[in-house]
Structure 1
Amino acid sequence: MHKEKTLQLVYCNSLLTEENFEIISTAHREVRFKKGDFFLSKGEISGSYLIMESGLMRSFVYSYNGDDITTNFFSNHEVVIEVLSLFNRTRSEEYIQALTDCICWQIDHDRFEQLYHSIKGIREWGRAWMSEQLFVSKIRSVEIITDNATNRYLKLIREKPQVIRQAPLKQIASYLGITDTSLSRIRKELSKGSFLASK
């Protein structure tokens, strides 16, 4: 997929004109990550964000007792970002790492700020994107308490099948708030149910 198509899929707003997209496109540069590369490490102040053309990344933290906990996955045509560090100019508590080889389009914080203040469509897109992220975060924080692990796993399959295909089981489990042993059991039960349903 070409740069322009990828950016149009992400920066989707009716106020953005063809001329706007040319300016937006110029502001992004291609960056590639090998599997295992870090886009951001704890203690760094994020200076940019990425648009994922192809590949998979995850953000994660280490808990107080040293456990590796996945906080988010970033798949094709999503914004790869550490919002607090980027916009508050604070040191990140998270790491962001490539789980596969990735092709991305990177834009610096200062350049985005220029676009945000000069292009109405970018302002509207930015507000809508941030609102959506707040809703997603709220829903996830409630569901991890009120919904069972099987339903959360099924939701992840529906919404981010790329994660199921490409992320290690242990990382998916930590994202769901369960152990990898529990996730293995859930997968086995679901597989058994699918087999019985097909008979």
Structure 2
Amino acid sequence: MNEFVAYILQFGNLNQQQIDLISSKATETTLSKDEYFWEAGKMVKQVGFLLNGVVRVCYYNNKGDEITRYFFEERCLLLEINSFENNTEPSEYVQAVTDCNLLLFSISDWQEMSHTILGWDSIIQKIFQKHLIQKLERRSPLVEQDATTRYLTFMEKFPLLANRIPLSYLASYLGITQQSLSRIRKNIR
């Protein structure tokens, strides 16, 4: 819980009573490797904070191919903002790549905190903006680079993450086949 509070305090101020309220609403749980935190087409029922592990955001294209869009590591808020605000079902999946430990908040508890804690929505908006910027920084260069450069850039920016995810997910994220990724890795060595 302390990790979550420290994370939140980077984006705004909370008093002890507000921290106690947040603590009373959180439950700690595990998500096993390959288990989904949420699935496309199903209502999201909780907000999570990733304490330990790696998750990926993925979807299926119109050909039925599984595409990995993003990876998230520790100290990341798992909040499907569109589903939350518009009461709609997500179009993507969030799946555990490794065994994960999470703090969970039910949607009703999350909404209660939003209504009770002055400035909570502003804090969450700042977190969302930070995550959006990070996503754009991760994805934007991938569009204009060749496959080898995409791989090298990923390895440079996320060296520890590369050892925690299957090559098939990394290839999907980079927009190449697993065979191409293997060839690139072989040529680099």
Aligned-residue Cα RMSD (Å) equals 2.2
Query: Which structure 2 residues correspond to residues 58-97 of structure 1 after superposition, within 5 A?
Result: 58-97=56-95
Aligned mate of 1:44, from 42, 45, 66: 42
Alpha-carbon contact 2:11-2:126 (below 8 Å) kept: no
Please name the residue that 2:28 is paired with. 30
SS of 1:166 mapped into structure 2: coil
Deviations 1:157-193 (A, max 9, x none): 3544443111110101111222222222333344x3x
Query: Which structure 2 residues correspond to residues 8-19 of structure 1 after superposition, within 5 A?
Result: 8-11=5-8, 12-19=10-17
Superposition deviation, residue 70 in structure 1: 0.8
Alpha-carbon contact 1:58-1:97 (below 8 Å) kept: yes
**For the residues of structure 1 that align with 2:156 and 2:14, how far apart are their CA atoms?**
30
**For the residues of structure 2 that align with 1:163 and 1:116, how far apart are their CA atoms?**
33
For normalisation by structure 1, the TM-score amounts to 0.82
Are positions 1:109 and 2:107 aligned together? Answer: yes
Please name the residue that 2:140 is paired with. 142
Matched length: 188
**For the residues of structure 1 that align with 2:132 and 2:40, how far apart are their CA atoms?**
22
Alpha-carbon contact 1:60-1:72 (below 8 Å) kept: yes
**For the residues of structure 2 that align with 1:153 and 1:8, how far apart are their CA atoms?**
35
**For the residues of structure 2 that align with 1:122 and 1:161, how far apart are their CA atoms?**
34
For normalisation by structure 2, the TM-score amounts to 0.85
State the AA in 2 paired with 1:102: C
SS of 2:37 mapped into structure 1: strand
Distance 1:22 1:102, change over 3 A: same
**For the residues of structure 2 that align with 1:61 and 1:100, how far apart are their CA atoms?**
18
Superposition deviation, residue 56 in structure 1: 1.5
Query: Which structure 2 residues correspond to residues 153-192 of structure 1 after superposition, within 5 A?
Result: 153-190=151-188, 192=189
**For the residues of structure 1 that align with 2:103 and 2:50, how far apart are their CA atoms?**
7
Q: Percent identity?
A: 29
Point out where structure 1 has 5 or more consecutive residues left out of the alignment.
193-199
Distance 1:69 1:140, change over 3 A: same
**Which has the larger displacement, 151-160 or 89-98?**
151-160
Deviations 1:93-135 (A, max 9, x none): 2122212221100112222222223323422321211222332
Alpha-carbon contact 2:68-2:172 (below 8 Å) kept: yes
Distance 1:19 1:149, change over 3 A: farther
State the AA in 2 paired with 1:7: F
